[in-house]
Every structure is written in structure tokens, then in C-alpha cells.
Amino acid sequence: MSTAAGTWSDVDVAGHECGIFEPARPSEHGYVVLYLHGSEAGRLADYPAFLREFERHGLRVIQPMSSLSWWTDRIWPTFDPTISAEAYVRERVMGYIAERWTAHPPQVALLGISMGGQGVLRMAYKYPNVFPCVAAIAPAIDFQKRIEEGVDAGLAEMYRDAEDARQDTATLHIHPLNWPRHQFFCCDPADVRWHDSADRLRMKLSSLGVPFECDLETSAGGHNKAYFSHMAQRSVGFLAERLGRERLRIV
């Protein structure tokens, strides 16, 4: 599939489908965005606002497809009976990125929406040296709500109960002395399901003195494609700028 400039294609990575975006003029620094999709399993290829930003910044993109795995480190047989979605991303997808594009941390940034938004935050908090740059749009952080409401059979398979799930949410994986150096998250105030948990994350990061950027004020329709697209320029621009900072960082 071709965009106005770049090209999308599908590849098999260790037995699972992934979407690949190749900009017409890739960044000379080899930057890659690893995108985790939401519960609707929507493809970024269907979001022109994101494609324009990837092309503008010369960002290669890979999008693994996992259905309703919630990107956890728990086995969900519907996705794969032998490897969790999180381990698949860290081991198989990151290995593919290294092989195909010769890109290694910190050249790889995380981007996610909704289910994928909480997934990228959790992975960045657990592995900040691998993923120092992360942006989450409308992150579904307190996903234990879906177990409480009985609306997600997959989560109920992976966790004993809602409290077990809560203990594995992104907010509880923040380490006060070891965190991703560049993080941005946003949530529409009209997003009645997920805004409160994003605000709790903001308060916890502030209390710990962890640097971050967030936008919990901009409204563009709630938890929907219009809002996600509205935040494309801010989130992708953030990642592009912070990948540049990481390249110039003196260790």
C-alpha cells in the first residue's frame, strides 16, 4: 500500500503479522517508531495524520498485530501459546528491527494508542534503557476496569482478578530512580473511561520528580479516531525531537 510519499507493507515476524512503513526519505540517523495498536486493532495505515508526520520526520515504523493481548507479559493463547505479547515485542520485533534497519536502542521509540498506549508506557517503565523515548495517546492505563465490568475475556484469562491486573498496570511499574528519559502522554477530558487514570499517572510522576510532558486538557471528541489523529503532530513530533536528543546525549 502506498501513501502520498511512503509505502506500507505487511511482513511476517516470527509467525505474526506486522505492518511496515517506509518513508520516501528516511532519516539519516536510522530512527524507528515501534507502534502498539489499540483494542480495535486499527492500522496506522488508515490514519493519514500519522503518515504525514512519519514522512515529515523520515521515521520508519513497525506495527505488530496482537489482537486483544493488552501487550502484557502474560501468555494469552489467542495471540501465542508460547510467548507473551510483551516478550514478542522485546525479543522478536526488536530483533527484526535490528536485522532489517540496523537500528538499536536508543534509535527506537515507542508509540501507542489506547490499549497500546498503556502498553508502551508499561514497557518503557519496565525497560527504560531499551525504550527511553515513549509517547502514549489516550492510554487505557487502569485496564483492570474491564475485568470489573466483565467486558474483556482475554484479560480475565491472563489475570486472577481485577486486583491482580491492577498490580501490573503501567502506573505501578514506575521506578523512582530509573525511568524513560523522554515521555509524553495525552488524554481527552471527554474520555470518561481513561482520563482519570492518566491524571493519576501525572500526579504520581510529579510526586516522584520524574520528568514528563502531558496534555490532559486538549479536547477533540473523546476516545476516538478524531482525537487520536488530532494528537498525531504533537506525539510524533515529540518522539522525533527526543530521538534527536538521545543521539546527541553523552553517556
Helices (H), 159-231: 162-166, 195-208, 225-230
Paired with 113 in beta bridges are: 137
pLDDT in tens, 152-192: 878 999 999 999 999 999 999 999 999 999 999 999 999 99
Question: What is the pLDDT confidence band of residue 213, given thresholds at 50, 70 and 90?
Answer: very high
Question: 45: pLDDT confidence band, cut at 50, 70 and 90?
Answer: confident
* pLDDT computed for residue 152 by the predictor: 82
Task: Count the Cβ atoms, other than its own, within 10 Å of residue 211.
Answer: 11
- By residue count, the chain amounts to 251
pLDDT beyond 90 at 143: yes
- Amino acid, res. 35: Y
As a whole number of angstroms, the distance between CA 123 and CA 117 comes to 10
How many Å apart are CA 70 and CA 152, to the nearest integer?
Answer: 10
Decide if pLDDT at 1 tops 80: no
Least confident piece of the model among 35-49, 84-98, 212-226: 35-49
In this predicted structure, the answer to whether residue 40 has a pLDDT above a threshold of 80 is: no
pLDDT per position as a tens digit, 191-209:
999 999 999 999 999 999 9
CA 240 to CA 84: how far, in whole Å? 29
AA identity, residue 224: N
pLDDT of residue 251: 60
What is the rounded CA–CA span in Å between residue 186 and residue 101? 29
Residues 217-230, mean pLDDT to the nearest whole number:
96
Q: What's the pLDDT at 71?
A: 97
Cell of 139: 492510554
Contact 31, 109 (CB under 8 A): yes
Query: Does residue 128 contact residue 180 with C-beta atoms inside 8 Å?
Result: yes
Q: What angle do helix axes 232-248 and 48-57 make, rounded to 10 degrees?
A: 20
Q: What mean pLDDT value characterizes the chain? A: 95
Q: Say whether pLDDT at 93 is over 90.
A: yes
> Is residue 4's pLDDT more than 70?
no
Place of cell 487520536: 228
pLDDT for the residue numbered 3: 52
User: The whole model's pTM is what?
Assistant: 0.96
What tens digit of pLDDT does each residue of 53-83 get?
999 999 999 999 999 999 999 999 999 999 9
In the chain, the domains with their CATH numbers are 7-246 (3.40.50.1820)
Predicted confidence (pLDDT) at residue 10 exceeds the cutoff of 60: yes
Contact 33, 240 (CB under 8 A): no
